[in-house]
Chains A and B, each alone.
Chain A
Amino acid sequence: VDRRRLASALDAVHAEDDPSTGFDHLAVAAVDGMGLGGMSASAMRGTTSQIPVFGSDPTARSLEDLQFAVGEGPCVDAYTSIAPVLVADLGGHGAWPAFTPPAVDIGVAAVFAYPLHVAGVCIGALDLYADRPRRLGPDEAAGGALIAAAASRLILAMVAPGSAFGGRLAATASVRNPAHQASGMVAVQLDVAPDVALDALRAYAWLHDRSLDDVAAEVIARRLRFGP
């Protein structure tokens, strides 16, 4: 770990007024300071609600979409256990059958996921990835925790009342998520709760090797029905 790069990037975050640029500084800390491939972060509530707030590159952004699409992965585990989940070799790890193959396909070989929490409230997860298997040394793991702590503050700054950037996350949030609309429809078709319907949609997409968005679009267009 390049402590100087890490420290200067973290200092830049503290001096930064704009949360989005703040995330850019953090990504520099991860990429240049720790030699990683990229960084992404999501605001989350349970495994149902998720808003990607940052992705340093296309792979990192896909990783965020993927974890929501399949509803499992190191980041989901980091969020639910409120503890870091450090996976040095994703391909050799059998814990997430739906998440792992597509993650490896997009070039993610190692994932280091950290919970984003503030004052005891978990608000999301941070993912750092590497394009080849590698371990994080104790210093690097601590560096990841520092990046996660700063990211938590940045997300809060995006929503803090009176913050000039308060509208930023709200604007992101107003982007409709078809998966939730489709899970509402399927909830009626199967007479279950929408959260259960979302799991049914995820399972269907996985079984048929299709993306969650595609399946949701089919349901909304009434070309696909669940249940009787």
Chain B
Amino acid sequence: VTQVCFPQIGSHDHAPRTAPHVTGAAGLGGTRSTLLAGLVADLLGEDDVAVLLDRVVAAAGTLEITASSISLVDTDPADMRIMAASDERAEHLVRHEVRLGTGPSLDGDRDPRPDDPEPVDLDRWPDYRAEAESLGIRSAIALSLDAADRHIGAMVLYGTDDLRLGRDDGAFARALADIAVLAILRSRTTYLQGTALDLSQALADQTAVEQASGMVAEIRSCTVRDGMHLLRTRAVAGGLPLATLARAVIDRDEDPTTWDDRP
């Protein structure tokens, strides 16, 4: 099943980003080092991975390139997802690559650290090349996104003619790709942590509700089943989450003897 999702894209204007909105500690007027410093600060301060990757793509706009994109591929090509694109052309090309199931994001250079990243040979993908050329894109550099020896995606830089970065620009582009990897890993950790905490909370809530139903049963001299019923009725009447009311009973902040036992 081909699954493409486009976070961010569509909510932004698609004017070519000659002056993209890099926020954080640095604007694009600064030097490369202030730009990188700003992105690293964003890594700590910004929670939304889509916003972070958008800023990485915007920072890539300082290179002599036409457009750029970041896409993720975890397991198989059908699951490739576009995470950020500098303009409509880049977005369209990644979509096209998902349709074809092949292209520079999916099959580009897997060497994570070339000293001077070379353009990929677009002749490897004739259908892709034709589509790119119809948009004025004639060359592309694919930077592999790797985490712990796992290929998780690619950052692709597009050019209207033969792209040559040189060592300095190449190192800057690589740093941007590394920041993208960190942003993606961090968002995954945050997600996992959130889910783990939810699970932990759900266990605690369920225990509290059962304990409270026993307390209500004892205080009201009824069965545990009726105690649970009273607890639920009271929660609904008071507009309180069941677990919140249960904790109030456990903490003796709520006195079940005063509860109305009519349904």
List A residues at the B interface (Cβ < 8 Å). Answer: 43-46, 48-51, 117-121, 123, 155-156, 159-161, 169-170, 173-174, 176-177, 180-189, 193-194, 220
Are A184 and B212 within 8 A (Cβ)? yes
Are A173 and B203 within 8 A (Cβ)? yes
Task: List 24 A-B pairs, Cβ < 8 Å.
Answer: A43-B199, A43-B203, A44-B203, A45-B200, A45-B203, A46-B204, A50-B203, A117-B196, A118-B192, A119-B189, A123-B196, A156-B195, A159-B195, A173-B206, A176-B210, A180-B214, A181-B217, A183-B214, A184-B216, A187-B211, A187-B215, A187-B218, A188-B215, A194-B214
Are A185 and B218 within 8 A (Cβ)? yes
A159 to B193, CA, bound (A): 12
What are the residues of chain B within 8 A of A121 when measuring CB–CB? 193, 196-197, 200
Interface assignment of B198: CB less than 8 Å from any CB of chain A: yes
Q: How many residues of B contact A (CB 8 A)?
A: 28
Residue on B nearest A159 in the bound complex, by CB: B199
Which 9 residue pairs of A and B lie closest in terms of their CB atoms, listed nearest first? A184-B214, A180-B210, A121-B196, A119-B193, A194-B211, A45-B203, A188-B218, A181-B214, A184-B211
What are the residues of chain B within 8 A of A155 when measuring CB–CB? 199
Known contacts A156-B192, A176-B210; is A49 also within 8 Å of B203 by CB?
A: yes
What are the residues of chain B within 8 A of A180 when measuring CB–CB? 207, 210-211, 214
Interface assignment of B202: CB less than 8 Å from any CB of chain A: yes
Are B207 and A189 within 8 A (Cβ)? no
Greatest chain B CB density within 10 A among A160, A183, A194, A220 is at: A194
Q: How far is the CB of B93 from chain A (nearest CB, A)?
A: 29
Interface assignment of B68: CB less than 8 Å from any CB of chain A: no
Q: How far is the CB of B219 from chain A (nearest CB, A)?
A: 6
A-B CB contacts (within 8 Å), total count: 103
Q: How far is the CB of A52 from chain B (nearest CB, A)?
A: 12
A176 to B200, CA, bound (A): 17
A134 to B107, CA, bound (A): 48
What are the residues of chain B within 8 A of A169 when measuring CB–CB? 199
Q: How far is the CB of A220 from chain B (nearest CB, A)?
A: 6
Are A45 and B217 within 8 A (Cβ)? no
A187 to B198, CA, bound (A): 27
A51 to B189, CA, bound (A): 24
Q: How far is the CB of B231 from chain A (nearest CB, A)?
A: 10
What are the residues of chain A within 8 A of B195 when measuring CB–CB? 118, 156, 159-161
Are A185 and B214 within 8 A (Cβ)? yes
Are A123 and B210 within 8 A (Cβ)? no
What are the residues of chain A within 8 A of B202 when measuring CB–CB? 159, 170, 173
Residue on B nearest A216 in the bound complex, by CB: B214
Greatest chain A CB density within 10 A among B190, B202, B219 is at: B202
- Give a binary string over B111-151; 1 marks a CB under 8 Å from any A CB, 0 the rest: 00000000000000000000000000000000000000000
Interface assignment of B4: CB less than 8 Å from any CB of chain A: no
- Give a binary string over B208-249; 1 marks a CB under 8 Å from any A CB, 0 the rest: 001111111111000010010000000000000000000000
A123 to B214, CA, bound (A): 26
Q: How far is the CB of B88 from chain A (nearest CB, A)?
A: 29
- Choose one: B190, B207, B219; the contact of A188 (CB below 8 Å): B219
Q: How far is the CB of B200 from chain A (nearest CB, A)?
A: 5
Are B204 and A194 within 8 A (Cβ)? no
Are A51 and B214 within 8 A (Cβ)? no
What are the residues of chain A within 8 A of B200 when measuring CB–CB? 45, 121, 123
Known contacts A51-B203, A120-B193, A121-B196; is A177 also within 8 Å of B210 by CB?
A: yes
Q: How far is the CB of B235 from chain A (nearest CB, A)?
A: 16
A2 to B72, CA, bound (A): 34
Interface assignment of B250: CB less than 8 Å from any CB of chain A: yes
- Choose one: B189, B203, B204, B214; the contact of A187 (CB below 8 Å): B214
